Amino acid sequence: MKKKISIRFYVIGVVSIVFTTIIVTVSFYNLFKKQIANEIRGYAGILTENQEFINHYELNTNQFRENIRITLINPSGDVLFESLEVNSEIDSHKNRPEFIEALECGEGSDIRNSETAGKKTIYYAVLLQNGNVLRVAEDVGNIWVIFGTILPNVLGVAVMLIILCIIISAFLTRQIIKPIEQMAENMDEIEKNAAYDELIPFAKLIHSQNKMRREFTSNVSHELKTPLTAISGYAQLIESGIAKEDDIQDFAKKINKESKRLLELIDDIINLSKLDEGNGAVSYEEINLLDVANECLNSLEIKAENKNITLSIVGESVIIKAYMSMIDELIYNLCDNAIRYNREGGFVIVSIYKLENKAVIAVKDNGIGIAKQHQAHVFERFYRVDKSHSKASGGTGLGLSIVKHVALYHKAEIEMVSEEGEGTEIKVIFQM
């Protein structure tokens, strides 16, 4: 993190230096051009007052300032006098912008690459009383020439600024990171040690997740320990020979039961871990909810028959885009819970239907129901309304937590209506 922040500071500093250099160079170049323009304008004014030059321009070829180019043009555009010595014949100037503007307005100016001098040149032309046009010009070079001239100074300043930027970046990085590190070391007192107010929600979230992870680890350890202790105990009785011949078969059944419970718990933990990871790379597919519900009920048919519970499904074919294995887990866990916490001879009804632009999965039973004070917590991991009943029914306490995670992953809503002793109905509502 420190390295990333430092690099970003360096980049900001270098970009700022380069950007500032460009702006300064362009500004200096524009100022330089303006200065040259004012200079040649003033020089033209001096020449227009010089009657000797106006009347005898052919005799004044060596009295002009160096780098200043003087041209005298008649109203037809022919060059009468040119202070710059050229080898080729001078073309007519009747189409030059500054000449045309001077004839029309009394004075004119232009900046262009001079065909004669081969450089960028500023031109200023003024109309004389005798009808001729006096034009004064001076080369300014191009911006790259100007930049090349100041480059050594710019590089010197840039190196000093970059060094200064590195020093300041290192200092600011330490100042920014140090409070965050201190906050990370004291997560239990997050509000007292919050480095920045903006980080308090984020820090609370991390603290909450760490707490949930510790609780989850503790719960998993406890839940795994219970069946393993039972399995180990029965196995030791058999191994030591303490168990009677008639008890061995009963112990074997209990070991088998606890093993199945252990496998169910491990499967639920694995599924929950996969949901926590997000499965972000998995693409959605079109799923018929009625078909998935039918398959889930078929797989739970034997479990329902053992408790004399009637399974039924009603509704219509509803197609949604979702992650297939997650939807299968969701419906399976809803139906499994409805069977597991039902009464002998009860019923479970699965309904699949559309509600405006939404798809609804509803699982209803007439089982033991959930008391009001527990309804807000039943989707938490390892939460059990009645621990003795849950262990007797073989529940892991993770079924509804898996349902919640699948719903969150698909941005679906969960609604639950339950009355203690009368049954429960849970609805999962998907956007279509």
pLDDT bin (cut points 50, 70, 90) of residue 359 is very high
- Residue 237 near residue 251, CB atoms below 8 Å: yes
Beta-carbon contacts of residue 191 (< 8 Å; ≥ 6 apart): 200
Q: Which residue is it, tokens 């900046």?
A: 111
Distance CA 6, CA 334 (A): 51
Beta-carbon contacts of residue 264 (< 8 Å; ≥ 6 apart): 394, 396
Task: Write down the pLDDT at residue 388.
Answer: 47
Tens of pLDDT, residues 323-346: 887 888 889 889 988 998 898 999
* Of residues 57, 135, 126, the one with CA closest to residue 93: 135
Average pLDDT over residues 191-217: 66
More confident residue, 261 or 408: 408
Query: Distances in Å between the alpha carbon of 416 and those of 375, 400, 428?
Result: 8, 11, 9
Structure tokens at 133: 């046009």
pLDDT bin (cut points 50, 70, 90) of residue 241 is confident
Task: Write down the pLDDT at residue 34.
Answer: 83
Judge whether residue 348 has pLDDT over 90. yes
Q: Give me the sign of the Cα torsion angle 317, 319, 325, 328.
A: negative
Query: Distances in Å between the alpha carbon of 47 and those of 37, 43, 77, 99, 221?
Result: 15, 6, 20, 17, 102
More confident residue, 182 or 366: 366
Tens of pLDDT, residues 275-288: 666 554 456 789 99
- Residue 110 near residue 95, CB atoms below 8 Å: no
User: Which one-letter amino acid corresponds to residue 39?
Assistant: E
Tens of pLDDT, residues 119-144: 678 889 999 888 888 888 887 765 56
Q: Which residue is it, tokens 């399974």?
A: 311
Task: Write down the pLDDT at residue 389.
Answer: 46
Task: Write down the pLDDT at residue 281.
Answer: 47
Domains of the chain: 1-185 (3.30.450.20), 202-277 (1.10.287.130), 285-431 (3.30.565.10)
Q: Give me the sign of the Cα torsion angle 34, 40, 42, 44.
A: negative
Q: Which residue is it, tokens 């993190």?
A: 1
Lowest mean pLDDT among 32-36, 273-277, 359-363: 273-277
Average pLDDT over residues 143-168: 72
Q: Give me the sign of the Cα torsion angle 384, 388, 393, 395.
A: positive
pLDDT bin (cut points 50, 70, 90) of residue 92 is confident
Distance CA 26, CA 411 (A): 55
Judge whether residue 190 has pLDDT over 70. no
Judge whether residue 174 has pLDDT over 60. yes
Tens of pLDDT, residues 368-411: 888 888 888 888 766 666 554 445 555 556 778 878 888 888 88
Judge whether residue 86 has pLDDT over 80. no
pLDDT bin (cut points 50, 70, 90) of residue 319 is very high
How much is the pTM? Answer: 0.47
Tens of pLDDT, residues 42-78: 888 888 777 666 666 654 555 566 678 888 888 988 8
**SS3 for the chain, per residue?**
CHHHHHHHHHHHHHHHHHHHHHHHHHHHHHHHHHHHHHHHHHHHHHHHCCHHHHHCHHHCCCCCCCCEEEEEECCCCCEEEECCCCCCCCCCCCCCHHHHHHHHHCEEEEEEECCCCCCEEEEEEEECCCCCEEEEEEECCCHHHHHHHHHHHHHHHHHHHHHHHHHHHHHHHHHHHHHHHHHHHCHHHCCCCCCCHHHHHHHHHHHHHHHHHHHHHHHHHHHHHHHHHHHHHHHHHHHHCCCCHHHHHHHHHHHHHHHHHHHHHHHHHHHHHHHHHCCCCCCCEEEEHHHHHHHHHHHCHHHHHHCCCEEEEEECCCEEEECHHHHHHHHHHHHHHHHHCCCCCCEEEEEEEEECCEEEEEEEECCCCCCHHHCCCCCCCCCCCCHHHHHHHCCCCCHHHHHHHHHHHCCCEEEEEEECCCEEEEEEEEEC
Structure tokens at 371: 């008391």
Structure tokens at 376: 């807000």
Beta-carbon contacts of residue 94 (< 8 Å; ≥ 6 apart): 76, 77, 100
Q: Report the chain's mean pLDDT, rounded to a whole number.
A: 77
Average pLDDT over residues 83-106: 80
